Structure 1
Amino acid sequence: MATGTEPHSRTGGVRGASRAAITARHLRTDRWWLAPAATATGLLAFVVYSTWRAFANADYYAAPYVSPFYSPCLAENCAPMKGGPNWEIFGSWWGLSPALLILVFPLGFRLTCYYYRKAYYRGFWASPPACAVAEPHRKYTGETRFPLILQNIHRYFFYAALPVAGILTYDTVLTFRDERYEWGHMGLGTLVFLINIVLIWAYTISCHSCRHIIGGRLRHFSRHPVRYRLWGLVGRLNARHMLLAWASLISVALCDFYVHLLATGAFEDPRLF
């Protein structure tokens, strides 16, 4: 005879029959909602800004700076970028913004990132909204069904993010030229690009997939001392993955906005030397 205490009968979460007889949905009295609300606000702000800039199809190049949203430029309708990664492999048939051809890769990398999953699951879907606060959904399937099962391709987006980061590194090197494309220049934009690319690489290699690729399947670290040291380095960065995720997200938006201001003539790039 079932007594209602068997493991199989404990269903329904806070709505289950085995839950303690209290009316409150949780016992937290602090402002637990601030964290998910701030996360949702920050992510939404970036989505709105990046969508506007991706579809703008303008003001993304101011010699020698090219926006990271538009690099590499893969369509014929790209602005002329002397010496930059302007590869017209899509020809003239692509009539939309060239940013839409490249943003899918860094966007897919971030959307499937383990930290960002936690961030937008909590911020937008309240799944769960905070620790010790039950989610409002009656059914939970995790990432076992479409479309969330696609989160499992995160490793492949990591592979795609590596060449993108490499190209942005090349763009950063080109910022040491002046508007006449002569080397030996360093402007405020150069510093903006340098900070951005350092954060981009730090976020990329601190990825959980990178850590697993380097040392996740090794049986004996003693037999692979180089990979062990790399694994330790990535592990230390991985502990700061959340901070790096936000810092790189902000830096890439600021980098694009800086180029936008230069391209629209809002001000001239201050020259440092």
Structure 2
Amino acid sequence: MASIERPRPPAGVHTPGRAAIPARHLRTDRWWLAPTVTVVVLTAFVVYSTWRAFANADYYAAPYVSPFYSPCLASDCVPMRGGADLAVFGPWWGISPALIVLIFPLGFRLTCYYYRKAYYRGFWSAPPACAVAEPHARYTGETRLPLVLQNVHRYFFYFALAFAVILSYDAALGFRDPAGHWGHMGLGTLVLLANIALIWAYTLSCHSCRHIVGGRLKHFSRHPVRYRMWTWVSRLNAHHMALAWASLVGVAVADLYVYLVASGAFADPRFF
């Protein structure tokens, strides 16, 4: 006897017991503006970073190195005077060395708690905004592939710390002149310093950092040092969203500046 398909019960906002509101939402403000800006900015960054990652050129202008290419792990990197040129891997058949590096900082941002909220709303409408029904009939959260992989964020945090240290070293090298002499500074020095300051602020404001510093403590009074660190990280954490956007723009601006100087389109002003 052929089985009879039964209609699926209503799901999502049409689940029995939910308020029967015919309108999709009752908001009267411009709730769509935030997810739209998210899509535009993130799309622009993805396009720009993809172009620069595959360019494999104009990423070093002594003494500045692009954050997209540091540390340079391939043997076909351009010679960098004093830079983080490790040459761990071979030439990789002409593949841009940036593709070896960017997987770690991008993985940290892709799995970031705030960025998840931003691109879930902007690209997937899950949901598009507070008090606005999402168009999906089912919701499984981050319990299934591929979104269950978002839990690796805490491990990407340790890689992000390592890269922040390396980029701090690159920023310190900015206090040299093109010949390698210390005690000099140019506009690029300030650009790299601003970039690494934003990267450290964003990294340390991470929710994983806050948990590592002060999580699983039953009595803060018994751990005054960790409690003090936890309060500092918590203050940064309150600005995590702003720091996420500022550091994203900052790293793109730093790379663009190095590209303009390395390609000869712009001469780096030297202050002393």
Q: Render the CA deviation track for 1:84-119: whole Å, top value 9, x for unaligned.
A: 000111023442000000100000000000000000
Q: Which residue of 2 aligns with 1:54?
A: 53
Distance 2:256 2:91 in 1: 27
Q: Is the 1:69–1:99 Cα contact (8 Å) retained in structure 2?
A: yes
Structure-to-structure mapping, 1:1-273, within 5 angstroms: 12-273=11-272
Distance 1:194 1:25 in 2: 47
Q: Which residue of 2 aligns with 1:4?
A: none
After superposing the two structures, state which structure 1 stretch, 11-20 or 106-115, moved more: 11-20
Distance 2:21 2:216 in 1: 47
Distance of aligned partners of 1:39 and 1:82 in 2 relative to their CA distance in 1, 3 Å threshold: same
* Structure 1 segments of 4+ aligned residues over 4 angstroms from their partners: none
Q: Is the 2:12–2:138 Cα contact (8 Å) retained in structure 1?
A: no
Q: Render the CA deviation track for 1:240-266: whole Å, top value 9, x for unaligned.
A: 000000000000000000000001111
The secondary structure found in structure 2 opposite 1:87 is: strand
How many positions carry a matched residue from both structures?
Answer: 264
| TM-score for both structures, normalised by structure 1 | 0.94
Q: Render the CA deviation track for 1:210-266: whole Å, top value 9, x for unaligned.
A: 000000111111111111000000000000000000000000000000000001111
Distance 2:83 2:20 in 1: 66
Distance of aligned partners of 1:20 and 1:219 in 2 relative to their CA distance in 1, 3 Å threshold: closer
Distance of aligned partners of 1:94 and 1:201 in 2 relative to their CA distance in 1, 3 Å threshold: farther
Distance 1:62 1:135 in 2: 48
The secondary structure found in structure 1 opposite 2:94 is: coil
Q: Is the 2:14–2:20 Cα contact (8 Å) retained in structure 1?
A: no
Q: Is the 2:24–2:132 Cα contact (8 Å) retained in structure 1?
A: yes
Q: Render the CA deviation track for 1:187-209: whole Å, top value 9, x for unaligned.
A: 00000011110000000010000
Distance of aligned partners of 1:256 and 1:139 in 2 relative to their CA distance in 1, 3 Å threshold: same
Query: Which residue identity is paired with 2:181?
Result: E
1:18 deviation in Å? Answer: 3.7
Q: Which ranges of structure 2 fall in alignment gaps of 5 or more residues? A: 1-8
Q: Which ranges of structure 1 fall in alignment gaps of 5 or more residues? A: 1-8
Query: Which residue identity is paired with 1:142?
Result: G
Distance 2:222 2:143 in 1: 36
Q: Is the 2:261–2:268 Cα contact (8 Å) retained in structure 1?
A: yes
Distance 2:196 2:25 in 1: 43
1:19 deviation in Å? Answer: 4.0
Distance 1:49 1:171 in 2: 22
Q: Render the CA deviation track for 1:56-109: whole Å, top value 9, x for unaligned.
A: 000000000000000000001101101100011102344200000010000000
Query: Which residue identity is paired with 1:151?
Result: Q
Q: CA RMSD in A?
A: 1.2
1:184 deviation in Å? Answer: 1.0
Distance 1:254 1:173 in 2: 18
| TM-score for both structures, normalised by structure 2 | 0.95
After superposing the two structures, state which structure 1 stretch, 218-227 or 11-20, moved more: 11-20
Distance 2:130 2:92 in 1: 50
1:17 deviation in Å? Answer: 4.1
